[in-house]
Structure 1
Amino acid sequence: MGAATEFIAAIELSSSKIAGIAGRKNSDGSLQVLAYAKEESSSFIRKGAIFNMDKAALALTSIINKLEATLQNSIKKVYVGVSGQSMHTVMNTVGRDYLEETIITQEEVDAICDENHAIPLVDMDILEVAPQEYKVGYNYQVDPVGVAAQHIEGRFLNIVAKANIKKYLIQSFDKAKIEIADLLIAPLATADQVLIENEKRSGCALVDFGADTTTVSVYKNNILRFLSVIPLGGNSITHDITALQMEEEEAEYLKVQYGDATYEEPEGEEVAAITLEDNSQSIRLSTLNDIIEARMEEIIANVWNQIEYSNYDDKLLAGVILTGGGANLKNTEEFFRKQTKVRKVRTARFVRNEVDDAENLIAKDCTQNTLLGLLASGNDNCCAEKQVEQPTPSQPISGDMFSQDEDLKRQAEEARKRIAEEERKAKEEEKKRKQEEKRNRPSWLKSTFTKISNSANDLFSDDENNFK
């Protein structure tokens, strides 16, 4: 394709990868994907939050360079999704009393909203506000402007997170010299793209199974009613499988290829087993899936606990919608039904919008719904306007006028190689350490069930604000 001059660019940051996308929104609501790039992020993002800004900046620079190479143009700014373990919702109520019956104006509503934003929070930021209904007199109104009353009460659902989440994210983009067009709440962008209007209106819970976290969002009457992030995800299952004395890469492969949330060994048949690629050991399928089922049971139990905590567990007429990479585990829908009282469960493997993806850049496997949601949420053209400087006799065009940019790219490449070499050495040392541990490691049965039994005690030690 030729150089793209009008497009929206967006970046999603998760515990497994940073992904960037550029595309267009058509007038009929469909999306056209123009470019896609990703970088592995486990070395600098944990539980959805950046902890190493230098590495994050390098990865972001790489993503932008790859996108620009495909677009054949420069990116001026990007839309960025915000998520993370500490994100959750807090309800707040702000009221006004009048001496006599008064017609509510937009100025009054704005003043109530401003007062809500001013509530004191310790080490937390309000990232977004989801207004609920306004109580005007004895009635509830979505829009109270023009209604006469002596009392108005605004109910607000504040989406909050630790201040460092936003601070470190912005600093990482600053280091990479990338302008942020807007910070978007990633779970809201996902919901807007995978939930249909009837589900939001009738009442539903969206469960997004990520690598390190699982996000629960509850909707009713087209309004977000509750949001919480659980510090458990697909990596929790992978780590449990490593107790069978194998590396994480091998454990992840076994989970994806042979994992089954409802596996039952057929009676009277030969015991099914699988062998690792290096033929180092043979593992029974029932053994593998017993470990997977134990952790999945814990994750879903905590998901359901949050849905009950929202007080909407008996109001979800449209049921539960699953998405995210963890939803690809075989028979997850059936297992969710068995573990909860919800009968309506479906998996959203792709967004509702029609997507023009001629190069097959986007997979329909639940993993890129959020990224497409961020793309659909953007409005501004993110293409940089080229500034052409006309030559004059007193100011001839220099052949190295962009040498500074080349120097920056060279420095970034050298830093990237240095970090890659450090990571390679660290991985080699870690591999040697794990091999040493294998020789002294207790049986997988003891270590596995000790890990699972202990998880209940320290499940939420990272962030006590997530659960009451």
Structure 2
Amino acid sequence: MAEKEFIVAIELGSSKVTGIAGQKKPDGSINVLALVKEDSSQFIRKGVVYNIDKTAQCLTNIIKKMETQLKTRITQVFVGVGGQSIRGVRNVVAKDMPDDTIITQEMVAELMEENRNLDYPDQKILDVAEQEYKVDTVMQLDPVGIRASHLEGNYLNILERKSFFQNLNKCFETAGIKVVEMYLAPLALANAVLTEAEKRSGCALIDLGADTTTVSVFYRNVLRHLAVIPLGANNITKDIAQPLQMEESEAEKMKLKYASAYTDNNEIDDTLKYSIDQERQVESRKFIDIVEGRLEEIILNVREQIPNEYCDKLLGGIILTGGGSNLKNIERAFAIHTHFDKIRIAKFVTLSISSNNELIKNHNGMMNTLLGLLAKGYINCAGNEIDPNRDLFEDDNNVYQANGQTERTPRQAHEVGPGVILTEQEEKLAEEEARRKREEQERQEEQERLEREKAERLEREEAERKRKENSWWNKLRRGLTDFGEKMVSDE
């Protein structure tokens, strides 16, 4: 990429909102140019926006700080969508056809469209993961070209509360930030940390976040299940703070210093105590019980979210990532409570990343989703250089003008790739385009109807004319006329 070409991605998390800018090189590697984060605990809970104004202000601050580092205007961004309200729901759409019908791509698209038009009260379909298709009695990943009389499409619909999705869009609209594209954050993360072998042979990706834990199950390269559990590493911190009557910030320090996901009973020293402050201490066994009690609850909830039909098929095992995966002995705890032998911690993405920022160089799993979102970006987000003699925070009507780089025809949901979510603006444009096409089709059908009626009328008139000509009265009249003419001619 040129010097002033870069991609910007933003992740809205429960504990922080993070923005990142990076350049993609021809060899596929990414050079991180800027990284900014701000606390979001006061307006985002469990990955969901609750205060639009404060979130919009936070986004504005992040953009301004990144522009300061880049010395360049940011015209547009890519955004990750996640949070507690996201969940996967299965659905089946069936179609009966005449015998020996050859299935076409149009038939498959019709099934998908019917599935996407399914109405979930107060819920919005963000994305659809195609599962298998049942062709007569046989399951197929790709049914096109097969003869059949019955076709069933199996889908995993990814849902989110409509109000939450609207709030997210409203934040960027209020901040005046143009969104190029929205991605389903769990899928962006999966693409960044899972190997092709893991997705093909089957695995469960567990993202242990601050307030939520996301479970994504893959098998044969297809997302089979997605759920967000409203429990995370912060719950352990709160469990430490409340009974020990201490600030959560101090409890967090104790967790990072002493906590372990699993401790064998024979390894516990009943005489050992951990310092709370200068005057108080807590027995190590009590501290261990607090940490392990909550963590066991999280792990058992994770295990419940792995469908039984895939438990013995996940040859890739469990892959842990996120900030919570840094807890000591976390693999052992998951192995004991889930009965999965194969556990891997994804400390970093599989991509080639270069950066001088310590947050990225730490390789602690906390930046994986953000780097996955950055990798998904494909359109330049850089604008004009910033004049160093000008006030950075001075209003500029052209700050977020995208210079026409994202102008494109309105897309329908089936025209985007997996994990891509249409923004509200794109949905409106798509609806307008669909309405225009419907109106055009209706006009064309009306014109064809009028022409058809005209042709039918002319055909009826012609038939009526011929009927009259061939009637007995006309034949008699023509006969008398011909006889009279013949008589006159003979005379």
| Matched residue SS, 2:183 | strand
1:405-452 CA-to-partner distances (Å, cap 9, x unmatched) read 07999xxxxxxxxxxxxxxxxxxxxxxxxxxxxxxxxxxxxxxxxxxx
- Where does 1:24-423 land on structure 2 (aligned, <5 Å)? 24-242=23-241, 243-264=243-264, 271-276=271-276, 278-307=277-306, 309=307, 311-362=309-360, 363-384=362-383, 405=395
| Matched residue SS, 1:384 | strand
| Matched residue SS, 2:72 | coil
- TM-score, normalised to structure 1, is 0.80
- TM-score, normalised to structure 2, is 0.76
Against the structure 1 CA distance between its residues 280 and 157, is the aligned structure 2 distance closer, same or farther, given a 3 Å change threshold? same
Aligned residues of 2:9 and 2:19 also touching (Cα < 8 A): yes
Find the structure with the greater CA-based Rg: 2
| Matched residue SS, 2:297 | helix
Aligned residues of 1:200 and 1:222 also touching (Cα < 8 A): yes
Residue ranges of structure 1 left out of the alignment (5+ in a row)? 389-398, 410-468
2:418 aligns with none
Separation in 1 of the partners of 2:262 and 2:163? 39
2:444 aligns with none
- Where does 1:428-439 land on structure 2 (aligned, <5 Å)? none
Aligned residues of 1:95 and 1:154 also touching (Cα < 8 A): yes
Against the structure 1 CA distance between its residues 268 and 367, is the aligned structure 2 distance closer, same or farther, given a 3 Å change threshold? closer
Separation in 1 of the partners of 2:29 and 2:159? 31
| Matched residue SS, 1:405 | coil
1:453 aligns with none
Separation in 2 of the partners of 1:154 and 1:162? 24
Separation in 1 of the partners of 2:396 and 2:70? 19
Aligned residues of 1:208 and 1:215 also touching (Cα < 8 A): yes
**Aligned residue type for 1:255:** K
Aligned residues of 2:204 and 2:215 also touching (Cα < 8 A): yes
Aligned residues of 2:12 and 2:47 also touching (Cα < 8 A): yes
Could you tell which deviates more after superposition, 312-321 or 134-143? 134-143
| Matched residue SS, 1:57 | helix
Aligned residues of 2:269 and 2:284 also touching (Cα < 8 A): no
| Matched residue SS, 1:158 | strand
| Matched residue SS, 1:206 | strand
Aligned-pair CA distance for 1:240: 0.6
Aligned residues of 1:264 and 1:286 also touching (Cα < 8 A): no
Aligned residues of 2:72 and 2:386 also touching (Cα < 8 A): no
Aligned residues of 2:64 and 2:393 also touching (Cα < 8 A): no
Kindly tell me the number of residue pairs found equivalent between the two proteins.
396
Aligned residues of 2:86 and 2:160 also touching (Cα < 8 A): yes
Aligned residues of 1:265 and 1:286 also touching (Cα < 8 A): no
1:365-418 CA-to-partner distances (Å, cap 9, x unmatched) read 011100001001111111236899xxxxxxxxxx99999607999xxxxxxxxx
1:229-279 CA-to-partner distances (Å, cap 9, x unmatched) read 111111111111012111101111101111012235767968222223x51
Aligned-pair CA distance for 1:172: 0.7
Against the structure 1 CA distance between its residues 98 and 255, is the aligned structure 2 distance closer, same or farther, given a 3 Å change threshold? same
Aligned residues of 1:209 and 1:325 also touching (Cα < 8 A): yes
- % identical aligned pairs: 48
Separation in 2 of the partners of 1:109 and 1:403? 51
Aligned residues of 1:3 and 1:72 also touching (Cα < 8 A): no
Against the structure 1 CA distance between its residues 26 and 404, is the aligned structure 2 distance closer, same or farther, given a 3 Å change threshold? closer
Against the structure 1 CA distance between its residues 356 and 150, is the aligned structure 2 distance closer, same or farther, given a 3 Å change threshold? same
* Root-mean-square deviation over aligned CA pairs: 2.6
Aligned-pair CA distance for 1:154: 1.2
**Aligned residue type for 1:247:** E
Against the structure 1 CA distance between its residues 100 and 293, is the aligned structure 2 distance closer, same or farther, given a 3 Å change threshold? same
Separation in 2 of the partners of 1:400 and 1:292? 52
**Aligned residue type for 2:130:** P
Separation in 2 of the partners of 1:149 and 1:3? 53
Aligned-pair CA distance for 1:149: 2.1
1:287-320 CA-to-partner distances (Å, cap 9, x unmatched) read 211100010111111110111x453112111110
Residue ranges of structure 2 left out of the alignment (5+ in a row)? 400-491
1:4-28 CA-to-partner distances (Å, cap 9, x unmatched) read 4211110011111000111123333
1:459 aligns with none
